[in-house]
Amino acid sequence: MSANTPSAYKGFNLETGDRILFFLKVGIVALVFLTFGVGATAILAAAACAAMAYEWFYMTTSGRRFDEPLVGIVLAAGAVPPFTTFAVGAAGGAAVAFLGGAFLLMMGPRDNGLLVKSALGIVVIGIAGVCFVWMRDHPEHGLALTAWLIFVVAATEIGTGFYDRNLAARDGGDTAGQSTLPMGPVFSIACGLIAGIVAAIFYREGSLFWVILMSVLVALIVYLTGELTRRMGNPDEDAPPGSLLLGRGAVIENFDGLVWASIFAGTVMMVFGALYGW
């Protein structure tokens, strides 16, 4: 990680207080945008997706310089799907996300196989933006749904960082007389669960059983994707770190959990018509 990287972007090595402060600031901004409706949420999602798309592109191509039109396609591929979802719905947003990945492959150098991996990741980012905006557009529970998702993801990330920094040394599962239960994931998922219940109570939405079940599932997804990317590490020391699929860094480092959580929650809503019993 670069020495110039702000402390709020050091992933699992981040001091717990800094990470809490970071998510608190981001959470306040996010809730303001969410409260102002779907249009404002689309702006927020578009900005975040554009930043993540650029970081992912830069990382997967090992920092290689490309023509400005290609970088413009990368930014558009991340930013346009959330706006399209706001304008015409989730199907249109998803179609634009795939078109963005296809344009990136068509416009890029023919001999650069790295663009395939880059395009796939950018499509994932675009689909996550589509799902998040689509959930906010729920006519009755959109604000509660999206706020609940942010609460669970942020609490799980904070819990993981706190455990790794302060409690991991005490988890001696191989020592006689101590529990063999892996306390890291239990602690992280418990943090996400508590946050999900608090959010549901605050918004007075959802049945307790489904709130608990979905909060646990989302927290588990956030923990597993974070743990996987942390163990995979950054394969290229010269490339900026990111964590959509590997490494840690910048906007992606803090929001990859929300990417996968949004896709999961959006898929559940599209398939079953509700997220947890609303």
The string of pLDDT tens digits covering residues 172-213 is 544 444 444 467 788 889 999 999 999 988 888 778 888 899
The whole-number pLDDT of residue 168 equals: 58
Give the max Cα distance, the chain: 62
Q: Which residues of the chain have pLDDT under 50?
A: 1-13, 173-181, 232-249, 278
Distances 123 to 43, 67, 130, 219 between C-alpha atoms, Å:
18, 20, 10, 23
DSSP for 236-259? -TTSPP--SSSS--HHHHHHHHHH
In 3D space, the residue among 238, 240, 146, 239 whose CA is nearest the CA of residue 196 turns out to be 146
The whole-number pLDDT of residue 231 equals: 54
